[in-house]
Structure 1
Amino acid sequence: NNEPSHIHFDDIKVSKIATTADINDLITYAQSEIDKAKEINADVDAAELKLEQAKRAVAQEDYKMVQYLVDEAVWLAKRSSIGHISVRDLKASSTKISGHTVMIKGTVKDLKARDGTGYNFALDDGTDSISVTYQGSLTDIKNEYVIEVTGVFDAPSETVTTSKIEKISGPITQPQAGLTLSIEEIATLISIGGTLAGVAGYIARTLSAKRRRKILFKNLMDEIDEIYSRFKMNARRCEAELYKLRDQILDAFKEGTLDEDNYKVLSKRLEEYMKEIKGQIESEMT
């Protein structure tokens, strides 16, 4: 049986009649990506499960399902986690590890807010340092804090785009010798300094929060459109990516980084695309 097939790997699309050889090539390609991930001791359990499901779909001659499952297996293999790694070892095997998920523990250096939402900083684990980017709030993390990041490593830029940050400990401070004040004097200074710092901090946070919410809204709107444009030819994958983004948008709203009006606009855009994708999935099943 020759069945029409629309194969999608990353940004590569191939439309043709699927033959047994074509299907075998897809399975072989997915297996090769899993094998490459195994070479760097990445966790490929999820990818192997998808590939096994794809092989069962081949036996059932469900070629559309084969397309979806092989696509998922390849994506999971390329993004598979290698777990904890030192910056030195990461850089030594940068080409092989690029695109994979890594975990690094180290000290925050040169923390800077990006022109918009998120932060850039260097993470020093004692063996070397590496650039890290994070899109989200870092209200309780500052320079010299010890943290653990989980994110995707990009070799060309030597940067980890992190999706999760866990604070391990605050900075180690040393007592300073010098001026001695009475308890009453310290209390007075704390009261005056705290008031002034509180007012200035409130104004700065208010202006900064409004600006960040505005830029975050634009970035999320662009991401919704980009996901739909990229994956619309693979309806099931598109639906999964939109659901994932919907959860991120909801989390941002709960955290206060999105206001209610922007959240409603983003939700409406998502619903429009998801309705279209669901219709496409239903038509494929009939």
Structure 2
Amino acid sequence: MTTVPQVTLNNGVRIPQLGFGVFQIPDDETAAAVGTALEAGYRSIDTAAVYGNEQGVGRALASSGIPREELFVTTKLWNDDQGYDETLRAFDTSLEKLGLDHVDLYLVHWPLPARDRYLDTWRAMEKIHADGRARAVGVSNFQPAHLTRLLENTGVVPAVNQIELHPRLQQRELRAFHTEHGITTEAWSPLAQGALLRDPAVTAIAQAHGRTPAQVILRWHLQIGNVVIPKSVTPERIRQNIDVFDFSLSDEDVAAITPLDDGTRTGPDPDTLN
């Protein structure tokens, strides 16, 4: 079983640098997938209200026998629940579905700038954190302008910004903003939904190291400092994706991946999604 290094967030809470994502896994398949991940050594599980599988995650955690303090559980507030009171109600619902009395990280899923509710939403997140029901709070898909507005108008700096990030969308400007303000970068869609697994530069590096293309890309994320949450329902791939801590990419390998950045998104643009 692999032991995953941890990253210290800006409030002192520690998060495993590599976790398991459950996006698009049906609830009735989630418990089995999470169970496989836990057996392989994952201790960080990332879900969201909109995924519809918080209950499946909860079932897997409850049956794992792993002490709660060894687990790191993240869930996210969905767009329809933004607003102060709505956020508090939605959080209660997520906790109930997960079967937990607290989560380790609670995220605002999207900024939705045209709705302009994320400041009130964030104030509710601050209360959830102050009450000890989320050990850390953060955001997802926030751009520098959204983050700047939060920092100027609220009291708690987000611990994490979970964003689409992979070699085709390397997010240098946003990562630099995170570093400047003590926000941890967490990558969703780290493999660009599989689009990078046949890229010649990636496959050449994989062949040289005797690794899979996915392992090469995940190793790239780790070496540039990202927290990363790959998702799979295939047991072999779940185990392969965490087996990335006994090799390193060379400077030349990283340099070969850098030119792949062409700004391609697999998901929505945070500036226009409302």
Settle same-fold status: TM greater than 0.5: no
Which structure's residues are more often strand, by fraction? 1
Which structure's residues are more often helix, by fraction? 1
TM-score (norm 1): 0.25
Q: Which has the larger radius of gyration?
A: 1
TM-score (norm 2): 0.26
